[in-house]
Amino acid sequence: MAYILIEYSMMIQRVSGNGNFITKRNTVRQNYNEITKNALTTLKEVTEKADRLLWRCEPSPHIQNITYDEVTRLLQGYIENEVDLNTDGSCSRTCADYHNTTSKSCSDEKFCAQQPKCSGRIHDCQFIDSVLSVCQSPENSTRRYEYIEYGESKSLGKNEKCWRDVNKVKSWKKFLSIDCSYCFCLCDEQSPKSDRYFNLRETLSDVNANKVVTGVRFVKRNRIFHLQIQQGVLLPRGLINESTVEWKPVDNYEIGDSSVKEGVDYHTLTYQNRSLDLDEVTKPDDTTFVVTGVRFQVLDGHLNLKVHFSQWDFVKGKLIDPEVNSIWQSNDNVYNRKQVNIDNLHLARWQWSDPRYSRNNQYLEFTNSGVLDDASQKTIPLIDIQDVEFKPPVPLGGIGIYYMAKSDFRGYVGPSIISSNLSPHLSLITN
């Protein structure tokens, strides 16, 4: 503004016949250009050093179906007598011998007849005690048990007043001398109560309408987790038309639809295939691309993030023939990843401590909650479903999947976004 006023005053004086002020005008313009150049250099330096990564912190409080959702009944604590875990109906082995089996029978109509059967695979059995007091959960719950009491006032899960009669479960003898023990195992059963599916279909912004991705969030639809994108119309010089910003609807399909195929449309978590890769996917070698889509792929049983990039013209604010100048990018590192161990985490709310975050080239396995803490009734980590978006919206240079937890308490996985790196484009602003 000051430069404009100086130029204007010199023009008025020249028109009024008070001199031509050529030398002074050139000096003022030279000073202005120098100031602009220095300011632009400083802006580029600051922009290059700025952290472009954004994710959501834990709200207070976290509310199910509002700020988080969860995979349900993936691997769940389940009680079964060893006599029903083998085909010959024997009790000659120990609980620890049963790593991968199924429920074969219901001998003598004991506790097995008083609880819902595990119709899937049964894994990693262990012996807890010969006498158990089991509080089963209500029929509409995704839990099997509220708690299991044993020994001298010990319990798996929080021992509170049971809403129904407690089942007394006692190991028994076969042929008067062979102990038939009740085992505590993990049930891997695909049932209507088990939400364990992740969408594999690609989700693209409306590139033909010059829309790019501006945000992302997890959403569960028909028991399937989707990465939903926010999109908006791209404008010149890295801006977004805020009036066009919207969340693009996810595909409304169900796993039972005749045209839907496992491994093509969706991925099913199981005991063997329950890994999630933790990465930030960008295109660091080329800043002329912005994010226009996202999807999951499956690599060696791992859910792996893929991001769709399209080339753009920064000055004009236009995607450049996106049907041709687009590419899918991912971190396909399969064998050199480090696992984040989340076994036996507590379900209690986080305590005040420094959070720990995942890094690139890590992965985690969805697993059961702690045996002692929760009788292994929940699936962890939970899924953060909060909106992840910049305000005001900006084009994105990448998307990530991260895990966050504090101390030994339950954690969350969620999406992160990386703003587009505008520093290489700043030199075009003065043109």
CA distances from 292 to 20, 212, 321, 396 (A): 54, 5, 13, 8
Tell me what the mean pLDDT of segment 47-55 comes to. Answer: 65
Query: How many whole angstroms separate alpha carbon 49 and alpha carbon 67?
Result: 31
The answer to whether the beta carbons of residues 212 and 231 sit under 8 Å apart is yes
Nearest residue to 78 (alpha-carbon basis) of 117, 135, 131: 117
| H or E segment and range at residue 5 | helix 2-15
- Strand-strand pairing, 68-69 and 382-384: antiparallel
Within 10 Å of residue 175's Cβ, how many Cβ atoms? 7
CA distances from 411 to 91, 123, 157, 172, 214 (A): 39, 24, 18, 40, 26
3-state secondary structure of 284: coil
> Which pair of structure tokens corresponds to residue 61?
């409080």
What pLDDT, on a 0 to 100 scale, did the predictor assign at position 43? 47
Beta strands of 222-369 (E only): which ranges? 224-235, 239-247, 266-268, 275-278, 280-282, 289-299, 302-313, 318-319, 326-330, 338-339, 355-357, 362-365, 367-368
Query: How many whole angstroms separate alpha carbon 35 and alpha carbon 53?
Result: 30
Nearest residue to 127 (alpha-carbon basis) of 106, 108, 151, 104: 151
- Kindly write down the DSSP assignment for every residue of 7-49, as one continuous string: HHHHHHHHHTTS---HHHHHHHHHHHHHHHHHHHHHHHHHHHH
> Which pair of structure tokens corresponds to residue 242?
């805020």
Query: How many whole angstroms separate alpha carbon 267 and alpha carbon 213?
Result: 24
23 pLDDT tier (thresholds 50, 70, 90)? low
Alpha-carbon 184 to chain mean position: 30
Tell me what the mean pLDDT of segment 352-370 comes to. Answer: 82
pTM score, two decimals?
A: 0.87
- Strand-strand pairing, 76-81 and 412-419: unpaired
Tell me what the mean pLDDT of segment 279-291 comes to. Answer: 92
Residue 44 has pLDDT above 70, yes or no: no
**Which range, of 119-128, 231-240, 341-350, 369-378, averages the lowest pLDDT?**
341-350
**Percentage of the chain surpassing pLDDT 70?**
82
Nearest residue to 52 (alpha-carbon basis) of 284, 325, 307, 367: 284
Tell me what the mean pLDDT of segment 312-327 comes to. Answer: 96
pLDDT tens sequence across 330-359: 999 989 999 998 876 655 544 444 566 788
pLDDT tens sequence across 186-239: 999 999 999 999 999 999 999 999 999 999 999 999 999 999 999 999 999 999
Omega into 392 within 30° of 0, i.e. cis?
yes
176 pLDDT tier (thresholds 50, 70, 90)? confident
Ramachandran sector of residue 308 (left: φ over 0; alpha: ψ -120 to 50; beta: rest): beta
Phi, psi dihedrals of residue 144, rounded to the nearest 5°: -95, -45
**Which range, of 102-106, 274-278, 390-394, 408-412, averages the lowest pLDDT?**
408-412
| H or E segment and range at residue 372 | helix 371-374
Which residue is it, tokens 């005040």?
A: 352
